[in-house]
């Protein structure tokens, strides 16, 4: 299965998603800020990145654009996650995201997004 980097400032969200991802056979790696994300990417090569739009130290949409410019992450699937209402689907797509999930995250939709992500 896929290595999945989960980037969210809410520790409970990272913990819950990581547990779920492990249970369905993926290898999760957690980060709680944009800086931690870049630190993890120094030694991790995820196939999928679940990226929160609102982080304490960075704008997730801008991080998505930056990830698309890096050789290491250009081919990774990026699924944006956010509690914004209405969803920022068009902004996420324009930033280069492959998908968008709203919080609270529906685990069936997450599974579907991951299955779709592995097709790329």
Residue 117 pLDDT grade (very low, low, confident, very high; cuts 50, 70, 90): low
| Residue in the structure block whose two tokens are 């779709």 | 116
Parallel, antiparallel or unpaired: strands 3-7 and 27-31: parallel
**Separation of alpha carbons 29 and 98, rounded Å:** 19
Buried b or exposed e, range 30-41, using 16+ CB within 10 angstroms: bbbbbebbbebb
Q: What's the predicted TM-score (pTM) here?
A: 0.94
Backbone angles phi, psi at 16, to 5 degrees: -65, -50
**Separation of alpha carbons 24 and 76, rounded Å:** 19
Question: Domain with 59 in it: what CATH number?
Answer: 3.40.50.2300
The 10s digit of each residue's pLDDT in 48-73 is: 999 999 999 999 999 999 999 999 99
Alpha helices in 28-106 (DSSP H): 34-41, 60-69, 89-95
Domain that holds residue 21: 3-117
Number of domains in the chain: 1
């Amino acid at each position: 299965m896929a290595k999945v980097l989960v980037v969210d400032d809410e520790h409970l969200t990272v913990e819950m998603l990581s547990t779920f991802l492990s249970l369905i056979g993926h290898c999760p790696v957690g980060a709680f800020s944009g800086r931690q994300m870049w630190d993890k990417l120094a030694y991790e090569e995820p196939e999928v990145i679940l990226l929160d739009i609102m982080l304490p130290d960075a704008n997730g949409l801008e991080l998505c654009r930056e990830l698309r410019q890096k050789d290491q992450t250009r081919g990774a699937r990026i699924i944006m996650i956010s509690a914004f209402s209405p969803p920022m689907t068009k902004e996420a797509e324009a930033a280069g995201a492959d998908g968008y999930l709203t919080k609270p995250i529906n685990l069936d939709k997450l599974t579907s997004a991951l299955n779709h992500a592995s097709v790329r």
